Structure 1
């Protein structure tokens, strides 16, 4: 099996885990684990796992000139990205979350045009407008009265910010992953992530009542640390060695299907007219923004 095929499977695996995560993580927040405390568990747990498996990787040192980019990657991918997503998810609903993260390819496209000077055609501009209109519709009109979703508009806005930070992370990290082994890169990235998240999550981390946690909550925490954090970041880093950032971000299309089906199947959320319309706008926008003419398709997709 070729590395490119493995990269595609890795990307599918990561987006599947993300799709389940919207409901699984929501199920323990904020009842058992406060959102910022959950982030501390993620970065500490993933850091420990990456240091453990780095024993089986090459012995590498990070070049001093790469420290600023490493810090930026940690801020975008392990700090701001996680913090706003989990806080947003604790305030909103799993389906809103699953729909809004599909704006990531649009964000990557916009940032690629700004940072990498990539050309954006008229169709892509229209797609960006339609997609962002759908996201804005969810933020402004997607509010429901739910005890487990105390501030849906703010939560939706924070989840949209997550897409912006993660899209920026995908672009910045692309310049480093070809230089270092994934184990080396991720262990240092998450170690820096602990320091970034510590001021925001330490107090909430100490509030967790470990002895009172039901087994389902413990299982959800383990899934988020091992699956949503360790595995997905490792899968995505490997996928980026073979795929373009814009191609990898396109796998986010699968998230709403998985996230919505799982949320409804487990009774954690329900579909509404606003959610359906907004999802259609977002998906159509992402499709138009990401679709390329056959003549311009890069060999490395």
Structure 2
């Protein structure tokens, strides 16, 4: 089996795990584990795992000049985005979460234009507008009543904020990813994440009644730590070593399809007219915003992945 095929399988594996996570994590919150307590489990577990495998990578020290950027990355990528996502998921539904998470590429595009001064074409502006209309539709009109989703509009807004924070992280982290080995970078990033999240989640973490947790709750927690956090980072790291970032980012379109299908099959969510229209708008918007312009003239093959 070629490395390229393995990379594609790794990318599919990562996005499948992300898609399933919306339902599995939701099944534990807030009945067994509160969202902020869950974040402590996630960042602490991943930090331990990355430290455990760090000996497989080179011995590196963080340049003192990168301390501030590393802290900002931890704040955006390991703390704020996880805190608002899990809190939002506890208030909303798996399908809403799977749809709204695909606005991340749109956020990245906007921030790249503002921070990195990249040009935005008219088509991309149209895509951004359509995608945001879909996201706002879920936030403003997601008014269904569910016992396991006590405040869907607020939950949808927090999930959208997760895309904002994670999109900011992707823009800021670009320099560090090219400078340090992934194991070095991740072990320190998650360690900082633990310190930042601890004041928010300590009380909820200590409130977890481990002796009364059912087996399926333990399984869900293990899935989020090992699968959604640790394995997805490893899968994406390997995929990036064989595929271009633009190719890997295209797999984000698969996530809502997996998330919606798994939520419906498992009986944890159902489709509504608003969800269908919003999902279509978001996916159309992300496609238009991220699609590369056609090259004029003769097409030349350059081995693009």
Q: TM-score, normalised by structure 2?
A: 0.93
- 1:290 & 1:189 partners in 2: Cα distance? 28
- 1:250 & 1:170 partners in 2: Cα distance? 15
- 1:8 & 1:81 partners in 2: Cα distance? 26
Match of 2:119 in 1: 119
Match of 1:178 in 2: 178
Matched residue count: 301
Q: Residue 117 of structure 2 aligns to a residue in which SS? A: coil
Matched, 1:251 2:255: no
| Distance 1:104-1:179 versus aligned 2 partners, 3 A rule | same
- 1:68 & 1:47 partners in 2: Cα distance? 19
- 2:57 & 2:113 partners in 1: Cα distance? 35
CA shift, 1:23, in A, is 0.2
Match of 1:80 in 2: 80
CA shift, 1:289, in A, is 0.6
**Deviation sequence 1:116-173 (CA, Å, 0-9, x none):** 1111000110000000000000000012110000000000000001111111112222
- 1:287 & 1:217 partners in 2: Cα distance? 36
Q: How does 1:1-301 map to 2 (within 5 A)?
A: 6-240=6-240, 247-295=247-295
**1:4–1:243 CA contact under 8 A, matched in 2:** yes
Mean Cα displacement is larger for which, 176-185 or 28-37? 176-185
| Distance 1:254-1:169 versus aligned 2 partners, 3 A rule | same
**1:104–1:249 CA contact under 8 A, matched in 2:** no
**1:36–1:83 CA contact under 8 A, matched in 2:** yes
Mean Cα displacement is larger for which, 246-255 or 279-288? 246-255
| Distance 1:17-1:173 versus aligned 2 partners, 3 A rule | same
CA shift, 1:218, in A, is 0.1
CA shift, 1:299, in A, is 7.2
| Distance 1:165-1:249 versus aligned 2 partners, 3 A rule | farther
CA shift, 1:294, in A, is 2.7
**1:98–1:255 CA contact under 8 A, matched in 2:** yes
**Deviation sequence 1:221-274 (CA, Å, 0-9, x none):** 000000011111233344455656555443211111100100000000000000
Unmatched 5+ stretches in structure 1: none
- 1:287 & 1:51 partners in 2: Cα distance? 37
